[in-house]
Structure 1
């Protein structure tokens, strides 16, 4: 699985050494590899703690998780507790050409691969250390999220207690921030000849996003945090509905046009006009739609409950309402849309077989970037 590049990829000529495990750091390396960098993942002999992480193939021999995050990388193993193994990592980082001298790791706190140690061997070295807590204490996505507030406003309104997310969102965001930071540091070094010491805590990534989106600003300026809203979208009109067949759709009416179309397809014009007059509101305003969402949910919900899934899908398709039927991962794959999307191409992954794997989501000049399969652990060890 290769990309028929007509030009050098954006990070062609860049070489990155990755000493990592789990999600954020490997995702950083994968993203850099998709952009054209040569990425060498270094693991302890036998693999890091994530080498057999679930999901596994049915025979239990290969980690689908590990191979997915390590596509397109070289793999080196070494005894990282021995002087020889440590010296090998130092050479991989510092003795490469002008595009090298880059280390990304979440295994910090080791003097032998600290920024100062590597900078003594190569002054223009770039190091990025991913940490857990803001103070450097250990933390993972799920503990960071628990301490931030999101689980307490996630889940059904009648559920008493926190609801964790399934997607490791902060790991993903942190990994992408790490790739951006490395790209910026490479640009800075090209302009100035100076390396960079980059520190990126997972907790700070989550705090930054939560602050930017207002979750941490509301308690400061309004003296109270955002309430839980279940499946209703905060601050606008969006909710889930159930069809006569028992299927669920997510609906979002962000604009006045979306809302008017939702009223039209449900045949509720007269009732909605009457509601506006009796409540003294204007449903063309997002705030009014959100404030009175309970009565609107009941009104629209009846129409969806009285119509089949096919009827609902046809009506929504003929409107501007933002919508999607809730589907399982099995349904997404069975639909055939992966094969129709140029983001996916067939990958022959040793230990797993052939399947459709995603490339870089961004295309450059109409070109999608793919990388090859994950090589066996230690395949490139000198």
Structure 2
């Protein structure tokens, strides 16, 4: 694969979701990503559901496209030495072990930087390299709970809820990619610390602003915005849902479409602050009016009136939308055992070009021999000895 990162080599010790998402992005932007996996088992997500007819995991496929797979036992001193030889020729190392775990294997930043002073080394962990929780394990929904994201997700008066996507994993993965690019741009060796908890707390920028300004801990508001009215999902008369999010300039056109001249003429409601103050009255009137319309016809009228609105779609509907199709959001690849399989493209492109090619997820250990011979400089006899010993 070619792209802006062509010529960059990434040694990827990560597994599961957050960091593998980051290295997949790097791979589809042109970097050579060498994924180091356990002999025999590989990344644990190779066994995750949903499974495909020939046994491969669609979960693994979603976050490991375009990489080269090398099996290597990092608990064996011979495997550790091979890993150090690979790192000596790499530009970037990405890992998501608990703090100190790779140091004990002789694969921490300080040791690898001895042989490769310009190495960009990114550690992606749950709680970071410092602090009282540094040795604590965590998972996406646990971070949603601990960070406050879960407490404010859901309907008012209802129980807390997780988000519909693994937001902690995926936003952390984006920050791992940012960390790699930051290190490469700095053109110097460095050890970068990405904490999933830090990332989740950083997502509270607006919530924290409300807390700092009003000393108000945000509560669950469902689809409603705490500081803007209207901004919520509404059920139309045909049972379908749409979301409207309007500012002051949209208020009168919205009322005109819905046939609510009384609300439009009310001086108390002309500004957002007034509508927030009178939220209950405004929302009741909007819900009643919207229930008199079919969703798709109403969305069309609102868009004609330049009121921001959209249908609440299923994932299937969203991916099949003509705009998504025109943008080539869904690509695909030909896998050596599963055949043709669709995939979401990496969403970055040059305006004059096509989106990045969709890489193929590697079979476990498919590139072991080529990488060990080419990058680590091992002979055929050395490789065969490691294989016989179960190190690869």
Q: Which TM-score applies when normalising by structure 1?
A: 0.87
CA contact 2:7–2:31 (8 Å) conserved in 1:
yes
Aligned match of 1:291 in 277, 283, 291? 277
Q: Distance in 1 between matches of 2:218 and 2:142?
A: 20
What secondary structure is seen at the aligned counterpart in 2 of 1:225? coil
Say if 1:365 and 1:336 are closer, same or farther in 2 by CA, change over 3 A.
closer
Aligned match of 1:358 in 344, 359, 377? 344
Asked if 1:103 is matched to 2:93, the reply is: yes
Q: Distance in 1 between matches of 2:113 and 2:349?
A: 35
Asked if 1:373 is matched to 2:373, the reply is: no
Q: Distance in 2 between matches of 1:77 and 1:32?
A: 20
Instruction: Note the C-alpha offset of 1:286.
Output: 2.4
Say if 1:23 and 1:302 are closer, same or farther in 2 by CA, change over 3 A.
same
Aligned match of 2:239 in 246, 249, 261? 246
1:268-295 CA-to-partner distances (Å, cap 9, x unmatched) read: 123432xx34xxx242x22222332221
Instruction: Note the C-alpha offset of 1:331.
Output: 2.7
1:40-77 CA-to-partner distances (Å, cap 9, x unmatched) read: 111111112222222323x4722111112111111111
CA contact 2:333–2:358 (8 Å) conserved in 1:
no
1:217-271 CA-to-partner distances (Å, cap 9, x unmatched) read: 4434433212322221221121111122100111111x22222221110011234
Partner of 2:74: 80
CA contact 1:76–1:378 (8 Å) conserved in 2:
yes
Aligned match of 1:179 in 173, 177, 180? 177
1:75-128 CA-to-partner distances (Å, cap 9, x unmatched) read: 11111211122222211111x2xxx33200102422221001111222222211
Say if 1:362 and 1:287 are closer, same or farther in 2 by CA, change over 3 A.
farther
Aligned match of 1:47 in 42, 51, 54? 42
Q: Distance in 2 between matches of 1:338 and 1:219?
A: 37
Instruction: Note the C-alpha offset of 1:322.
Output: 1.4
CA contact 1:17–1:102 (8 Å) conserved in 2:
yes
1:60-209 → structure 2 map (5 Å cutoff) = 61-94=55-88, 96=89, 100-108=90-98, 109-111=101-103, 112-134=106-128, 135=131, 136=134, 137-159=136-158, 161-189=159-187, 194-209=188-203
Say if 1:350 and 1:259 are closer, same or farther in 2 by CA, change over 3 A.
farther
1:317-328 → structure 2 map (5 Å cutoff) = 317-328=303-314
1:179-221 CA-to-partner distances (Å, cap 9, x unmatched) read: 11111211212xxxx31011111111112232xx132344344
Q: Distance in 2 between matches of 1:180 and 1:314?
A: 38
CA contact 2:54–2:338 (8 Å) conserved in 1:
no
Aligned residues: 357
What secondary structure is seen at the aligned counterpart in 2 of 1:153? coil
Partner of 2:374: none
Say if 1:290 and 1:32 are closer, same or farther in 2 by CA, change over 3 A.
same
Partner of 1:214: 206
Q: Distance in 1 between matches of 2:171 and 2:300?
A: 36
Say if 1:334 and 1:188 are closer, same or farther in 2 by CA, change over 3 A.
closer
Q: Which TM-score applies when normalising by structure 2?
A: 0.85
RMSD value over aligned CA atoms? Answer: 2.1
**Where does the alignment leave 5 or more consecutive residues of structure 1 unmatched?**
3-7
What secondary structure is seen at the aligned counterpart in 2 of 1:145? helix
CA contact 2:10–2:93 (8 Å) conserved in 1:
yes
Aligned match of 2:264 in 269, 272, 277? 272
